[in-house]
Amino acid sequence: MVRKTVAVLVLALAIPAAALAAKPSTPTSHGKANPTVMYVLKGTLWSYTAASSTTTGSITINVTHSNYHGRALKNTKVIFTVAASTALTLSKGSSIKDGTRGIVKFRAAKNMTTSGLLAALAPSQTTAFQIIG
């Protein structure tokens, strides 16, 4: 009886150990897609047109500061498409007036060249992710 109990106990301990010893499968190749990052642009907002459910809007920002990814856009004027899904955060009032200081965030590929970034930001190419005014 004691031998049977010891055998069952050893078997019960061996099964989880064998399951943990199995190697997890590893992918054979890595994805080649360029990762996307959040670009944060700060500056003066102009020409805001709100989006509706049927049409897109637009906003212009004169960039005075940015995060690391958007440093090539400093001291430029950029026009963004505003979709109905664009998050809009307003601190005062219900709209963005010309000359309001604000932030525009958008997502794009990481480590883009200056010319590639400006080409991606051509009108109607990039939609603003969030606007803070």
Q: What share of the chain is helix, strand, coil (3-state, %, to 5)?
A: 25, 35, 40
- pLDDT tens digits, residue range 55-78? 999 999 999 999 999 999 999 999
- If one counts every other C-beta atom within 10 angstroms of the C-beta of residue 94, the result is 6
Across 35-52, average pLDDT:
93
Residue 27: pLDDT over 70: no
For the chain, what is the mean pLDDT? 83
Annotated domain spans of the chain:
36-132
Under a CB-based contact definition with an 8 Å cutoff, are residues 103 and 109 in contact? Answer: no
Task: Determine how many CB atoms are found less than 10 A away from the CB of residue 62.
Answer: 14
Residue length, the chain?
Answer: 133
Question: Which residues on neighbouring strands pair with residue 95, listed in sequence order?
Answer: none
pLDDT band at 38 (very low <50, low <70, confident <90, very high): very high
By C-alpha distance, which of 83, 82, 63, 81 is closest to 73?
63
Measured CA to CA, the distance from residue 76 to residue 124 in angstroms comes to 17
Q: CA dihedral in degrees (99, 102, 107, 113; nearest 10)?
A: 60
- pTM here is 0.72
